[in-house]
DNA sequence: TTATTATATGCGAATAATCTAATATATTAA
DNA sequence: TTAATATATTAGATTATTCGCATATAATAA
């Protein structure tokens, strides 16, 4: 039973394990964008972008809205942005810790 | 430059993309544990557990302390627990949303 | 030193994630 | 209906993760 929860939890978090998908989340932070808008901001083939978006939608991280010929993707739950930010903070803290260590070593 | 940040960010978040590793984080929430303790709580071969621990350590998520023959693993940054919790909330909200939908459909 | 316990590592097989290229579908305009 | 634009899907090749098994190392006790 608990095992299933961990599996679903991991399934959702898979979203964070790819740089392109993190970029998508970052680009959608301040509101929805169409595939086209994302595509023009992202240096990635359109098909590949669609694949990532589709995965993120399946996992319930993104939601879509059609407007004519465009499809707008938005972040389904703001908590996802929060988790994204927290993990980025973890990364930045790691980097600055390493930087301090290098300086210490250099000045020794 | 930004691309590198996304890659490192994804590298750290990889930690969340596997159910065993999530279980490890969950087990270490309230403090460090030795590999042996984890192993006896976890239904996973010892070698495989060590592999996960080693990966999480490399990524800076866990830190270790040796005490005699035992090695204690602990969570290096409490923010990791926070991110873990937030994503679990996202999951639970999804599940209850789906549950509500099922009930609606059944009663229709 | 040898035996024992705790932990880590290396390697290969199995599986999963990712990308590319081609093609399909859906909407709108002409 | 046809053409054009936006988006999605499929299949296959490539690469990365995960795991099991065997073995290695490290600390301690006898």
The pLDDT tens digits for A79-89 are 999 999 999 99
**How does residue B101 score in pLDDT terms, banded at 50, 70 and 90?**
confident
Whole-number pLDDT of residue B25: 98
Topology of domain A2-76 in CATH is Arc Repressor Mutant, subunit A (1.10.10)
| Cβ burial, residue A43 (10 Å; 0-12/13-18/19+) | exposed
| Cβ burial, residue A38 (10 Å; 0-12/13-18/19+) | buried
Q: Which residue of B has its CA nearest to A26?
A: B6
Sheet with A70-75: strands ordered across: A33-34, A70-75, A62-67
Do B79 and A88 make contact, defined as CB atoms within 8 angstroms?
no
The pLDDT tens digits for B67-80 are 999 999 999 999 99
CB B13 within 8 A of CB A87: yes
CA of A75 to C1' of C25 (A): 25
**Nucleotide whose C1' lies closest to the alpha carbon of residue B68:** D27
Q: How far apart are CA A82 and CA B97, in angstroms?
A: 20
What sign results for the dihedral spanned by CA atoms A44, A47, A52, A54?
positive
Any CB–CB contact under 8 A between A78 and chain B?
no
Any CB–CB contact under 8 A between A96 and chain B?
no
Per DSSP bridges, beta strands A33-34 and B33-34 are unpaired
Report the complex ipTM. Answer: 0.93
Residues in A closer than 8 angstroms to B60, CB to CB, are 90, 94
Any CB–CB contact under 8 A between A23 and chain B?
yes
Q: Please give, one letter per residue, the 3-state secondary structure of A32-74.
A: CEEHHHHHHHHCCCHHHHHHHHHHHHHCCCEEEEEECCEEEEE
Q: Taking the domains of chain B in order of start, what are their residue ranges?
A: 2-76
Mean pLDDT over B10-20 rounds to 98
Whole-number pLDDT of residue A101: 76
Residues in B closer than 8 angstroms to A77, CB to CB, are 90, 93
Do A19 and B7 make contact, defined as CB atoms within 8 angstroms?
yes
CB B80 within 8 A of CB B87: no
**What kind and span of H or E run contains B28?**
helix B19-28
Cβ of A40 less than 7 A from strand D: no
Any CB–CB contact under 8 A between B66 and chain A?
no
């Amino acid at each position: 039973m608990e095992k299933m929860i961990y599996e679903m939890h991991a399934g959702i978090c898979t979203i964070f394990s790819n740089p392109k998908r993190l970029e998508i989340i970052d680009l959608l932070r301040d509101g929805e964008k169409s595939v086209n808008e994302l595509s023009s901001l992202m240096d990635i083939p359109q098909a590949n972008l669609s694949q990532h978006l589709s995965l993120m939608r399946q996992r319930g991280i993104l939601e879509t809205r059609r407007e004519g010929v465009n499809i707008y993707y938005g972040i389904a739950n703001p908590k996802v942005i929060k988790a994204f930010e927290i993990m980025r903070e973890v990364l930045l803290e790691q980097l600055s810790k390493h930087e301090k260590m290098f300086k210490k070593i250099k000045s020794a």
